[in-house]
Chain A
C-alpha cells in the first residue's frame, strides 16, 4: 500500500509574541514575536507491505519519508543577536522504517511486536535556535550565512521496540470455589518497551554556550515492563472488573534527562564545589546561635557561631548537593494500582 498525505498545523501561539529564554541578562536571549507566522507543513510518503504467513499471524513492513517545511525557527535580521525574529524558516525530514509482527488473540494467546527505525533532522532543533549561524567576514565586513546543516530533532529516537503479549483464560478455566470460578475469563497483558535515547545538546559549565553541535549527544536507552491483570465480573446486569495495573514492574530507573554540562543526571564533584564556592563567596557572614540557620554540629569550636570557611563551607557544599539533586532526571518508579471498574 502506498500513500501520500499533506498536513498542516498551527505554530505554537507563544511564538506570535516576544519571548525571552535562558539567562535573559545576556545578549542573544530575546526573540521578537511574529504575528504573521504561517502554518507548519508536512508532506508524507509511505509504502507498506503486509503479508499473512499463517492464520492469525500478520507481518507488516513499511517505510516512510516525511518532509517538514515552514517549521518555526529564529531568523536573524542583522548582526545584532537581539534583533532575531521568529519565522517559518526551518525545514527538515523524517525518514524511517517500521516492522510489525502481530498474532491475533487465538486460543487465549496473542502478541504484537513492533520495531521502528527513525531518523529525524532539521536545520534547527528548536524555535529559539538560529536557523543558520551567521559570521561577519573579517575582510569585507559582510554578514555571511553558512550553508544549511541539519541536526537531529528533539524527538529523533533512532530505535524503538514495543512488544505486547496477551492472554485470556477460558470461561470454564480453574476450579469452582463457592460457586465461582476465580480464574474464569482472567485476562493478562505484559508490555515491554525498549527505546534508544533522545538527543540533547551539551553545554559548558556556565550553561550559556553549546559544546559541539546541537543535539549531538544522546541519552541512554530506556526500557520498561508493564503488567495488567484483569478479572471480569458481572454485578447484576452491569459489567465490571477487578484489575491490577503495574507500571514499570521491574522498577527500572530510566534516565530521561541529564545535566547538559556533564551528560549525567548528577553534577560531578567539581560542579558541586563550584556552586558551593559561589554561594559561600556571596555570603560568608557568620551565623549566630539564635539564627534559624545555626547548626550546632557545624559549630566546631563551640563558640556560638558557625563562622569561617572551615565551619561554613561544608554547609554550603551540603546545600549544593541538595540543590543539584537530579529531581527530574529519572522516569517514574514502579506504580501499582489495584482497582475496580464498572462498564456502563
Chain B
C-alpha cells in the first residue's frame, strides 16, 4: 500500500491562493529556454582499449589532472583556418570535451600549439608553447610556459628556445615535460628538423633528444641545466619526492635511474629482448614505458644519431617487485603513456597499424598518418590487470 505523502492541511489552499495572486500580479516567471544535455562522460565505445578521441587530426600527449578527474591533451583542429593545436580536457573515462582552449599563445592570427602538458600536484600547468605564421612549417617562437591552473590561457613564458645548456648541445624544442618539484620542470630537450627526406617526399618533423634538462620556473630566463650522460634521451620520469629521475636513451632497452643528489646513474629496469624502451612515466612504483614495436635507431644526415618511432607496446612494471605486464593490443601501437594518479588506468596515444598486402606471402606495415607532418594519434585508455602497489 502506498504511503500518503505528509501534507499539512490547508497548505494546498494557501499555495493555490498564493499562486493566483502571483499570476495576477505578474510575479510568475516562465522557465528560461534550456537545451538538453548533449555531452557524455563515457566513451563512444568502451571496448578495451577504449578509444577516447575520434579527432581526424592528431591528439597527443595526455596528462592526468592532479585529482585524476580529467585528461588534458593536445588536439590539432581540422576545422580551424589557423590550424591550431589546442589544449583539451576530457572526462577521465572519455566522453565530451569539457574544455577546448585554442589561440594560445599567439591568438587568432597565428598558428599556435600547446604541446606536452605537465600538471603539478598544486594544479599548475607547464607546457611547450609555440606560435608561428599560418601555413608555416615551423614555429617562429617556442618556449616553456607555466600557468597557475590547467587553463593555459593565463600562462607566462619562462624559457624560450633555442638555447644551449652548459655542457650540452643546442636545444630547439622539448618533450616529456614533468614537474620535478614545485620550482623545477624536467624534460627531454631536443633538436628538431623540419623537411623532406628526399625530393618529392612528404615534409616531416624529425626530433632527436639532446639531454634530460632541468629548468627552474621561478626565475624567468634562467638557463636550463642538462643532466650529464643523458644525450639521446627519449623519455624522462620523476620518482616520488623528486630525488631521482628515470630516463631512457635512444636504441637502448634499459631504463636508467639518476639520483640528483649523488649524480650517479644505474639501471632501474631492462626490458631486454622486448626491444627499445622510451616514453617512460612513473606513478608510485608503477612504471609505464613504450617498448619495441615500430622503432628504429639510425642516423639522420643533419641531426646525426636519432630514433625513428612510430609506437610500440605499453609495458607496465612494478619497480618494487620487478613484475612486468605487456598491455598489447591488436592493430595498435602506442606512444607517450600516462598513468592515472591512482594507477588504475593509462591513457596513451594509439596509432593504428595498417598492413598492406603486397603480394602472395609479402606484406608491408605502415602506421596511420593524418596531414603531412603529424602522426595521427587517437587517445586510448588501457587498464593494467593489477592494482598500484605502495610506493617503495
Contacts and interface: CB of A to CB of B under 8 A. Distances in A.
Contacts of B54: 288-290, 304-305
A292 B39 contact: yes
Given A290-B54, A290-B94, A305-B54, A338 B26 contact: yes
A78 B51 CA distance: 66
Interface string B32-54: 00000011100011000001111
Interface in B79-123: 79, 88, 90, 94-97, 100
Nearest to A307: B56
Contacts of A305: 54
Given A296-B38, A336-B26, A291 B97 contact: yes
A234 interface: no
Contacts of A67: none
- For A285, A288, A290, which residue has the most chain B Cβ atoms within 10 angstroms? A290
A304 B97 contact: no
A214 to B, nearest CB: 37
A39 interface: no
Interface string A296-315: 10000000110000000000
A336 B28 CA distance: 11
A294 interface: yes
A25 interface: no
Given A291-B97, A338-B26, A283 B79 contact: yes
Contact of A292 (B44, B51, B52, B96): B96
A290 B25 contact: no
B97 A290 contact: yes
Interface in A251-271: none
Contact of B96 (A283, A285, A291, A338): A291
Interface in A278-335: 283, 285-286, 288-292, 294-296, 304-305, 335
The DSSP consensus for interface residues of chain A is: loop
Contacts of B40: 296
Contacts of A26: none
Contact of A286 (B38, B39, B44, B56): B56
B11 interface: no
B78 interface: yes
Contacts of A296: 38, 40
Contacts of A292: 38-39, 96-97, 100
A64 B96 CA distance: 68
A285 B52 contact: no
A338 B25 contact: yes
Contacts of A286: 56, 78
Given A292-B96, A292-B100, A337 B38 contact: no
Nearest to B78: A285
Contacts of B38: 292, 294-296
B183 interface: no
A286 B39 CA distance: 17
B25 A289 contact: no
Interface string B52-65: 11111000000000
A298 to B, nearest CB: 10
Contacts of A294: 38, 96
Nearest to A339: B25
B273 interface: no
21 contacts: A286-B56, A286-B78, A288-B54, A288-B55, A289-B96, A290-B53, A290-B54, A290-B88, A290-B94, A290-B95, A290-B96, A290-B97, A292-B96, A292-B97, A294-B38, A296-B38, A305-B54, A336-B26, A337-B26, A338-B24, A338-B26
Lowest 9 CB-CB distances: which A-B pairs, in order?
A288-B54, A285-B79, A289-B44, A338-B25, A304-B54, A289-B54, A304-B44, A336-B26, A285-B78
Given A289-B96, A291-B96, A294-B38, 8 more contacts: A286-B56, A286-B78, A288-B55, A288-B56, A289-B44, A290-B55, A291-B100, A296-B40
